[in-house]
Structure 1
Amino acid sequence: MTKTIIATDAAPKAIGPYSQAVRGGDFLFLSGQIAINPATGELVSESFAAQVRQIFKNIEAVLKAAGSNFSQVVKATVFLKDMGQFAEMNGIYAEYFPNDPPARSAVQVAKLPKDVDIEIEMIAFLG
């Protein structure tokens, strides 16, 4: 099995020693995305909903760079600073997975990079 690094300028650059995504065989492993606007490099902070929507834009850009899309996502992990925001996140999340949603975990964590409220990572099948 070969490993291919996926990178795109349409999503935020990695802020550490990791890749935006890695293709391994027929699977694409996306690193966690936070609400950074790739055009400005700044965090989106006007609302929690705006953060979630920016994360999905970032994920969509990485999926597209790998020749994939949301219909091929098989697993998502959502990290929330406050589980009280789960319902709001879930409503937006459902917009991206209206049919046959992937498996998902959602956990509350004490702290996230850049002190954001949410981070989402995904795995997609490319076969």
Structure 2
Amino acid sequence: MAQKVTWEEIGQKGFNNISPAYKSNGHIFTAGNVGLDPVTNELPEDVEQQTINALENLKNLLEKSGSSLDRVMKVLLFISDRASGPIVNKVYAKYFPHSPARTCVMVQFPDEAFKVELEAIAEYDE
């Protein structure tokens, strides 16, 4: 049976109507992680820092849920501007040297200040 991961469990501010993740059958399925600063909950202007923050938020979520970045099997990445691709890829490569499967989609976020969002599927030990 699927187990909900709560914002309280991972120690992050979240959204009432969105769960940060669900765990089921040895896998964690995360919601989208954006570039909000994990301490201040503020959004930096530049895509590099937003990417770092999003990946740090994902790392925290996975570690508090019994997994880690090196157990990520699939990433779905959303970016708002094609020109930011090389910057995002440079940061991404530092966090995922094992190169999990990935899809990258260019989108228009409801709030134009957001430049990157990512979700992941990772393994964990039940």
Tell me if TM exceeds 0.5.
yes
Aligned structure 1 segments of 4 or more residues deviating by more than 4 angstroms:
none
Structure 1 Cα separation of the partners of residues 17 and 102 of structure 2: 26
CA deviation profile, 1:25-61 (whole Å, cap 9, x unmatched) = 211011101111132121122x211111111110110
**TM-score after normalising by structure 1:** 0.87
Partner of 1:15: 15
* Displacement of 1:22: 1.0
**TM-score after normalising by structure 2:** 0.88
1:35/1:44 contact within 8 Å kept: yes
Kindly provide the amino acid, as one letter, of the partner of residue 32 in structure 1.
G
Paired residue secondary structure (1:42): coil
Partner of 1:118: 116
The answer for unaligned runs of 5 or more in structure 1 is: none
CA RMSD of aligned residues (A): 1.7
Partner of 1:25: 25
- Identity level (%): 28
The answer for unaligned runs of 5 or more in structure 2 is: none
Change (3 A) 1:76 1:113: farther
